[in-house]
Amino acid sequence: MRAPPCLSVRVFHAFLSLAVLALAPSWAQNLQPIPLPKPQTEGGKPLMQVLMERKSSRQFAGEKLSPQVLSNLLWAAFGVNRRDGKRTAPSAMNRQTIDIYVILPEGVYRFEAGPHRLSPVVAGDLRAKTGAQGFVADAAVNLIYVADYAKLAKVKPEDQAAYASVETGFIGQNVYLFCASEGLGTVFRAMVDREALAKALNLRQDQRITFAQSVGYLKK
pTM listed for this prediction: 0.86
User: Which run of H or of E encompasses 49?
Assistant: helix 47-53
Phi, psi of 138 (to 5 degrees): -95, -20
Task: Output the tens digit of pLDDT for each of the chain's 220 residues.
Answer: 454 444 444 443 443 333 333 333 444 467 899 999 999 999 999 999 999 999 999 999 989 999 999 999 999 999 999 999 999 999 999 999 999 999 999 999 999 999 999 999 999 999 999 999 999 999 999 999 999 999 999 999 999 999 999 999 999 999 999 999 999 999 999 999 999 999 999 999 999 999 999 999 998 8
- 175 and 117 housed in the same domain: yes
The number of distinct structural domains making up the chain is: 2
Burial of 25 (0-12, 13-18, 19+ CB in 10 A): exposed
For residues 169 and 206, membership in a common domain is answered with yes
Domain shared by 14 and 51, yes or no: no
DSSP letters along 163-206, please? HHHHHHHHHHHHHHHHHHHHT-EEEEE----HHHHHHHTT--TT
Residue numbers of the domain that contains 88:
31-216
CATH at residue 186: 3.40.109.10
Question: How far apart are alpha carbons 119 and 116 in whole angstroms?
Answer: 10
Residues 23 and 91 in one domain: no
